[in-house]
C-alpha cells in the first residue's frame, strides 16, 4: 500500500493542476514552472519536461499568464477568450498533468493525462464560460470582473493546493465535479418537467 502513495500523489497533483488550467490556461503552468524551477516542495517534473522549469519557459508562461488574466477584465474580449479557452485549457491540462505524473509508467501517465487531466480542464473551462454568460445576462456584464477575479483567485489557490497538498486538491476537484453534475441534472430534469 505504501508503494501506491507516490502514484496517488502524482495523479492527484496532475489532476489538481489540470483543473486549475480550466480556470486560467497559463497560470497553473506558470506556477508549476516557478515551483519546479526552484525545487519547491520536492516535486520534480517527468523526464523530458524539464524545459518547463527553465528560465525562458518561466518568462514566456509568466507573460502569457499576465496577458490572459488582464484580458478577462476587458468586455467582449472575455467572451472571445472563453471560446478559445476550452481547447487551450484541455491541451494545457494534459501538458501539466503529464509533466507532473512522474511516478507513473509512461503509457498509464499519458492515458490519465489526456483523459483525466485534459478532460477535467475542459469541463472546468466550459463551466467558467457558462458562468460568464450567466453573469453577462444577469448583470449586463458588470459582474464579469468579479467572476474573472474569482476565477483567477481560484486558479492560484487550486494550483498551490495541488502542488503542496495534492490529495486535498483531488478531493476538491471530485467534489466540485459531483456538485456540478447534480446541479446540471437538476436543471435538466426541471426543464423536462415543464
CA separation for the pair 191, 178 (Å, rounded): 20
Q: CA separation (Å) from 55 to 34, 61, 92?
A: 9, 10, 19
Going by C-alpha positions, the residue among 26, 68, 29 that lies closest to residue 163 is 29
Q: Model confidence at 92, in pLDDT bands (50, 70, 90)?
A: very high
Phi-psi region of 3 (alpha: psi -120 to 50; beta: other; left: phi over 0): alpha
The answer to whether 37 touches 53, Cβ cutoff 8 Å, is: yes
Full-model pTM: 0.92
pLDDT in tens, 126-156: 989 988 999 999 999 999 999 999 999 999 9
Q: What angle do CA 23, 81, 154 make, to 5 degrees?
A: 15
Domain range summary for the chain, segments of one domain joined by +: 4-192
Helices of type H across 24-143 = 26-37, 55-71, 77-100, 106-112, 119-139
Amino acid at each position: 500500500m505504501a508503494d501506491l502513495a507516490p502514484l496517488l500523489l502524482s495523479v492527484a497533483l496532475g489532476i489538481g493542476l489540470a483543473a486549475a488550467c480550466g480556470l486560467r490556461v497559463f497560470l497553473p503552468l506558470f506556477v508549476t514552472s516557478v515551483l519546479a524551477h526552484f525545487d519547491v516542495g520536492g516535486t520534480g517534473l517527468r523526464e523530458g519536461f524539464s524545459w518547463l522549469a527553465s528560465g525562458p519557459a518561466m518568462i514566456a508562461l509568466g507573460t502569457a499568464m499576465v496577458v490572459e488574466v488582464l484580458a478577462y477584465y476587458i468586455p467582449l474580449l472575455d467572451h472571445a477568450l472563453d471560446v478559445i479557452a476550452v481547447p487551450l485549457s484541455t491541451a494545457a491540462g494534459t501538458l501539466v498533468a503529464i509533466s507532473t505524473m512522474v511516478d507513473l509508467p509512461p503509457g498509464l501517465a499519458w492515458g490519465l493525462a489526456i483523459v483525466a487531466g485534459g478532460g477535467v480542464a475542459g469541463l472546468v473551462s466550459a463551466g467558467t464560460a457558462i458562468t460568464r454568460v450567466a453573469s453577462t445576462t444577469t448583470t449586463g456584464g458588470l459582474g464579469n470582473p468579479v467572476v474573472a477575479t474569482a476565477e483567477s483567485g481560484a486558479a492560484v489557490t487550486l494550483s498551490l493546493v495541488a502542488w503542496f497538498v495534492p490529495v486535498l486538491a483531488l478531493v476538491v476537484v471530485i467534489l466540485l465535479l459531483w456538485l456540478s453534475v447534480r446541479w446540471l441534472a437538476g436543471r435538466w430534469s426541471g426543464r423536462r418537467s415543464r
